[in-house]
Structure 1
Amino acid sequence: MKILVLCTSPGLGGLELYAEREWQYLQQAGHECHFVIAGNGWLAQRNRHTSARIFHLPRNSKFFPLVNALNLARYIVRNHIDVVHMHWGKELNLAALAKRFSRKLFRHRVKLVYTRHMGITRSKKNFAHAFFYRQVDMMLTISKQVEKEARTWLPLAGDQIKLLYLGVADKTVDKPDCTGLPEKIRQSQFKVVLFGRIEHGKGQHLLVEAMAQLANRKLNISATFVGQVMNNDYFEKLKQSVKKYGLNERIAYLDFIDNPMAVMPCFDVVVLLTYCETFGLVLIEAMRAGVAVIGTNAGGVPEIIEHAKTGFLIEPGNSDALADALSRLYNDADLRQQLASSGKKRADIEFNSELHFNKLEHLLTAGEI
């Protein structure tokens, strides 16, 4: 089976790394797997020394990428690709046009599979959307919430939409190396971390507000933000809030970490504060790493965390509830360990990458598309 994994997103986060892992897995499974990525994106930089079956597309008009679609169609035909698997919503036009060009111009039939990583908030059944979605042979959704939205808002038949939870490989280490953490963080009694791009939707400001409350309660607690700065204005406001609350000695910022599971055990709690996270892969990473988690009670997060059993759920945007949850875990080490242990057991069984990629491989190759 000849498979093309398409991910032209220029950023570097969970979606992009997932596409890279899929490409690597399918190659190791014995398939001829190609990787098409943005020529000036982070994935290109990460794989700049790898030449095998990687094709770079230049950034083009995101609204009507005719030139890139034609180039992609030629690549598909030249390499006799059977299935294209795309991940980034903004490249649906590109993938759909490439599939159509492959058939109309070159008489080559290729299947298009679209994994929807983001939620759907409005109808896509108008004429323009319908044209592109007609090219999709199968849609995979990463949570029941997204599956429900897809069935409601997209012009696809019910049997074209399938649920496939994401999985995480066990990349924990026997002894985590915490020396890269700032001294002020290493010296704190209780360490909280938020992994994610620094932008308003990820909710870093909520953790700052909660930290202000916890500092007033005289708790020896710190917070670390790990991720790329995506919005400089937001980042500057975040730092101003930290200064206003007198939290400079309690809060640190680190850049993107390639293997977060290797450092997660350096912390006591991993929090995810997105207002409506589609799934929450970082929570699964933390659970598999044996760390207690707190997530927002929205989107796909409740499908991962069983409240008070494998972690805590709080309402989105509620920094008071976050402060209370962190205070409870700070004061009850036994509860924290119980949640971490139960969370790890659940994640190891239900959200491991081997199970996920085995199911994905079957869906892409078993002729069910």
Structure 2
Amino acid sequence: MSDRLKIGITCYPSLGGSGVVATELGKLLAEKGHEVHFITHSVPFRLGKFHKNIYYHEVEVSNYYVFKYPPYDLALASKLAQVAKMEQLDLLHVHYAIPHAVCAYLAKEMVGSHLKVVTTLHGTDITVLGQDESMSDIIRLALEKSDAVTAVSQDLIHETRQAIETDVRIDLAYNFVDKRVYYPRDVTNLRREYARPDEKLLIHISNFRPVKRIGDVIDIFAEVNKKVKSRLMFVGEGPELSKMICKVKELGLTERVLFCGKQDDVAQIISLADVMLLPSEKESFGLVALEAMACGVPTIGSNAGGIPELITHGETGYLADIGDTQTMAEHAIRLLSDPGLYEAMSKACLDRARTKFCNDLITIQYEEIYYRVLGRPMPMYNVDELCKA
């Protein structure tokens, strides 16, 4: 490939949607012939098997006795610079402002201005850290020293401008899922292990943090279960888990609720379900709702953050105000009780996931940004044909 780029990618490799998106993007770029170097403290959990054009470089942190805490930030900056020099990287694409964008800026200072830095904001680097006055100045520096900045929703762009008070250009690049992985699976036999034929299956997937409002998930299900024979499946682990197990027991729903822990084959698990519940207090995007959409499963969630940019109310799911579990339950009951409505909404989910959030489309958007900051012409692609494939 004559237009091949050499790209370094840094992300949190072991948790969160940002690491998933960063890893999947790297794999897609490698498939297109680009040379991709992951520079992280451990192998990204979604990287999996050997991939052509993908390389991994481990960040090792010194335990020198004078350090109270291991200096991961400095070790990462040094490793980024080392790999950039050794592999003659064209650019670094770092996911999360803190510490990755700051480290990339330091690496660029060590290597030279020919090395470009693209920073992608995913959420809590702005919505949490950006609210901390002790962090806002260094986040602003990192963004303004980046050659390009992207964010995963318009809502996050708005929050960044409010929290960081910067006029730096921020490109919108939505999250995506690989349509070859996320599609409706035939799980007829497996579903029998979780629900009877006359029962509906609702699902929630998260890290069980308070912001996910797991208690609301249970309250929604309790109302749905009064009108529609159903079961609730929880996937994931986190700080709220034990408290929610107690709540399920108190409501007498233990036999109706399944706690499945962490699961690797998310597309398979989602395909079991009829509805995804996502009543979060805050979501910069809501990747799990897109994963559900790509499997033909509608989401019922909160009108918060970037979720309304993903879910079209009344077409691919339903939205309600944060904490309005009664309305969310009513939407779920209506949807699960009307086969014609459900079929139409499921089809709309597939259409939207395969067009608006097509993995080929989003990958090209990132490529356009790369070539722009490098001052090189962008190869031509037929986007419509790619997204139909």
Q: Would the TM-score normalized by the shorter structure come out above 0.5?
A: yes
1:53 — aligned with what?
A: 55
8 Å CA contact 2:39, 2:79 repeated in 1 = no
Give the TM-score, by structure 2 length.
0.82
2:145 — aligned with what?
A: 135
1:212 counterpart letter in structure 2:
A
Q: 1 CA distance for matches of 2:47 and 2:140?
A: 35
1:304 — aligned with what?
A: 310
Shift of 1:268: 1.0
2:171 counterpart letter in structure 1:
K
Change (3 A) 1:188 1:135: farther
Answering whether residue 354 of structure 2 is matched by residue 338 of structure 1, we say no
Shift of 1:198: 2.1
User: What secondary structure is seen at the aligned counterpart in 2 of 1:309?
Assistant: coil
Percent identical pairs in the alignment equals 26
Aligned ranges 1:266-345 → 2 under 5 Å:
266-345=272-351
8 Å CA contact 2:319, 2:328 repeated in 1 = no
Q: In angstroms, what is the RMSD of aligned CA positions?
A: 2.8
Structure 1 residues not aligned, in runs of 5+: none
Shift of 1:47: 4.2
Q: 2 CA distance for matches of 1:363 and 1:67?
A: 27
Q: 2 CA distance for matches of 1:57 and 1:180?
A: 41
Task: Give 1:237's match in structure 2, choosing from 239, 243, 246.
Answer: 243
Aligned ranges 1:1-369 → 2 under 5 Å:
1-7=5-11, 9-39=12-42, 43=44, 47=48, 53-58=55-60, 65-91=73-99, 92-103=101-112, 109-118=114-123, 120-121=126-127, 122=130, 127-154=137-164, 156-158=166-168, 160-170=169-179, 171-172=181-182, 175-177=185-187, 183-186=193-196, 189-215=199-225, 217=226, 219-227=228-236, 229-231=237-239, 234-367=240-373
Q: 1 CA distance for matches of 2:70 and 2:217?
A: 34
2:387 — aligned with what?
A: none
8 Å CA contact 1:178, 1:263 repeated in 2 = no
Q: 2 CA distance for matches of 1:129 and 1:174?
A: 40
8 Å CA contact 2:318, 2:328 repeated in 1 = no
Deviations 1:267-315 (A, max 9, x none): 1111212211111122222222112221210111111222112210011
2:65 — aligned with what?
A: none
Q: 2 CA distance for matches of 1:29 and 1:11?
A: 25
Change (3 A) 1:46 1:163: closer
Q: 2 CA distance for matches of 1:128 and 1:13?
A: 23
Deviations 1:212-260 (A, max 9, x none): 2334x25311110112x132xx211100001001111111122333342
Deviations 1:56-112 (A, max 9, x none): 114685887223322321121111111100112332332222222323xxxx63111
Q: 1 CA distance for matches of 2:46 and 2:353?
A: 31
8 Å CA contact 2:97, 2:142 repeated in 1 = no
Shift of 1:172: 4.3
8 Å CA contact 2:105, 2:146 repeated in 1 = yes
Change (3 A) 1:48 1:157: same
Q: 1 CA distance for matches of 2:107 and 2:60?
A: 15
Change (3 A) 1:88 1:179: farther
